[in-house]
A and B are shown apart, each in its own frame.
Chain A
Amino acid sequence: MKSAGGYAPARIRGHERNHGKTVASVLFLGGLGLMLFELISAVPFGSAPMQVGQAIAGEAFARTGADNIVTAILLGYRGLDTLGEVTILFTAAAAAGMVLAGAGRGEAQGQEAGFIFRTAAWMLFPFLLVLGAYIIIHGHLTPGGGFQGGAILAAAFFTPLLASPASPFNHRVAILVEGFAGLVFVVIGLAGLAKGAFLTQLLGTGTPGALLSAGSLPVLYVAIGLKVGSELAGLMARVFGEGSARS
């Protein structure tokens, strides 16, 4: 009926509605909403006990040397969570790559964008790159960090792809970067074993507020930034059209 890559407008066959299901859903959802609200209201807004949070806020700077306590938590206290989320992103990218391999290219993506977009995309590229790098490097000092910066890096690479889908996206480089960045994270963590435990701070805390402070946290953030950037870019390039990698 349709070719393998056919993207005819998606329509649900048969417009009959299952009213019973809708009614049941609405009733259950209403119930769930009320109950969740009831449950969460048991802790009045702003009055949650802040035991661990308070303790961390008190000692985080002294222990890690990071001005941004959220960063201290993300890379220090809960560094393993961060490694985990990077892994999830990596796993999702690997899975999406596997799923989409050989999917062929949709005709919808084949069209070039307008001149303005194409030009702007290439002009934006260096600025986005620099911005991303800045945000990553200052993650331990200011709001921001590896994820935010990585997303901007990815945008830098992805915007040109949106503008002209025919332009090549080098998945090999992306994979290389994400692989080694992940490796660096784990290796830094394992190096921490020498000083006691996984992900123990390696370098000294340094001068407060200086760019080169907070021990190994900035290094981790650079790894995360590179990894997230390459993963996001690779993922989006894949979802957008696997075909471009082969052409």
Chain B
Amino acid sequence: MTGTLLYGGAIGLVIIGLYAIVARRHLMRNIFGLAVMESGVNLLLASVGYRPGGHAPILVAGAAPGPLVDPIPQALVLTAIVIGFGVLALALALVVRVRQAYGTLDNRAVARRLRAENGEARS
């Protein structure tokens, strides 16, 4: 039950995030979606390491207090969170610039202006 809930929740977060990316045109919402999606993925990764009855993988005085949960996914998640943060920061910086440049954050309008500037007019 806990597992279903955790897995379902994680996947639900991924789907919600993806919805904001795929179906919404506002670039800021897309970036929020990215953040939500990443949390979902991280949750999924962390849940993979669960062991029934496991403790946090910290030794007390050099000995384990009992069965431990898998420490590797925890380390991975930690890394993934920081990576996500870096990407998010860069995205926000770009958003500031795009907003300044085009006066809009409508993905479609941005894409149209972008192509016009690239000289991809229909031949």
Contact = CB atoms under 8 A, between A and B. Distances in A.
Q: A–B direct touch, CB within 8 Å, in complex?
A: yes
Interface of A: 1-2, 4-8, 10-13, 21-22, 25-26, 28-30, 32-33, 36-37, 40-41, 43-46, 48, 50, 52-54, 56-57, 60-61, 67-70, 72-74, 78, 81-82, 84-86, 88-89, 91-93, 95-96, 99-100, 103-104, 106, 142-143, 147, 208-209, 228, 232, 235-236, 238-239
A132 B44 CA distance: 28
Contacts of B71: 53, 56-57, 60, 69-70, 72-73
B93 A238 contact: yes
A99 B97 contact: yes
Contacts of A73: 71-72, 74-75
A32 B26 CA distance: 23
17 contacts: A4-B100, A10-B28, A10-B105, A22-B23, A33-B14, A41-B7, A48-B48, A52-B72, A69-B59, A86-B82, A88-B87, A89-B82, A92-B90, A99-B90, A99-B97, A103-B97, A103-B100
Contacts of B31: none
A88 to B, nearest CB: 5
A37 B8 contact: yes
A238 B73 CA distance: 32
A32 B6 contact: no
B70 to A, nearest CB: 4
A124 B92 CA distance: 27
A46 B50 contact: yes
Contacts of B70: 48, 50, 53-54
Interface residues of B, number: 62
A21 B107 CA distance: 14
A103 B79 contact: no
Contact of B58 (A10, A69, A74, A85): A69
A88 B83 contact: yes
Nearest to A236: B89
A-B pairs with lowest CB-CB distance, top 10: A45-B3, A92-B86, A96-B93, A53-B70, A208-B62, A69-B57, A25-B23, A73-B75, A69-B71, A92-B90
B59 A100 contact: no
A60 B63 CA distance: 11
Contact of B49 (A48, A86, A235, A239): A48
B103 A2 contact: yes
Nearest to A21: B23
Contacts of B64: 57
A22 B49 CA distance: 35
Contacts of B92: 96, 239
Contacts of A26: 19, 23
A1 B75 contact: no
Nearest to B60: A67
Given A45-B2, A239-B93, A8 B57 contact: no
